[in-house]
Amino acid sequence: MARALGQGARQQLKIHYLVSSSILIASGLVCILVDAPYMGTVLLVAAVVSPLLVTWSLRRTGRRQLTYLCVPTILRMTDDGYEARTDQSTTTMRWSLFGRIVAGPEFWLFFVNKQFTGFLPRRAFSTEQQAEFDGFLAAREHTRAA
């Protein structure tokens, strides 16, 4: 589960890392060129360190959340969506809610408006069920593109 959260966060934050690091690098170079080397150095170091700090912070927060998420769960899949049921909660999600679904080797990652919102572990399904679900998602993507 921690790996799924990490993969989802990486997918979500790719652009953020690229943009923020680019801005920090450009600002640092400008500071160095206008004879403010200390500030320029700080900004260049921040360009390298900030993605590492954000990743560390997300992992730390994710570990705290895992105690609530790592519980026995019953999944029920339909053509309209899926339902995840635990002793404490029931969540129903419609496929139409997700703007993007990334099929990875371990998980299917779900995104709403470029925000990582959930996942399904592949190991919860047989090989045949995985292939069927991948086909379902491909057909769904094909009809959305049309």
Domain finish residue from 69, 96, 128: 69
Q: Are residues 89 and 65 in the same domain?
A: no
Distance CA(105)–CA(50), nearest Å, equals 28
Q: Are residues 13 and 42 in the same domain?
A: yes
- Determine the length of the chain: 146
- Domain range for 136 is 74-145
Domain finish residue from 54, 69, 84: 69
Q: Are residues 65 and 78 in the same domain?
A: no
The whole-model pTM stands at 0.56
Decide if 39 contacts 27 (C-beta within 8 A): no
Q: Are residues 58 and 27 in the same domain?
A: yes
Q: Which amino acid is at 64?
A: R
Q: Are residues 60 and 79 in the same domain?
A: no
Positions of the chain with pLDDT lower than 70, given as ranges: 1-13, 62-70, 142-146
Which pLDDT does position 77 carry in this prediction?
Answer: 85
Q: Are residues 11 and 45 in the same domain?
A: yes
Q: Across the chain, where does the E strand assignment appear? A: 74-77, 81-85, 90-94, 100-103, 107-112, 115-121
Which pLDDT does position 110 carry in this prediction?
Answer: 87
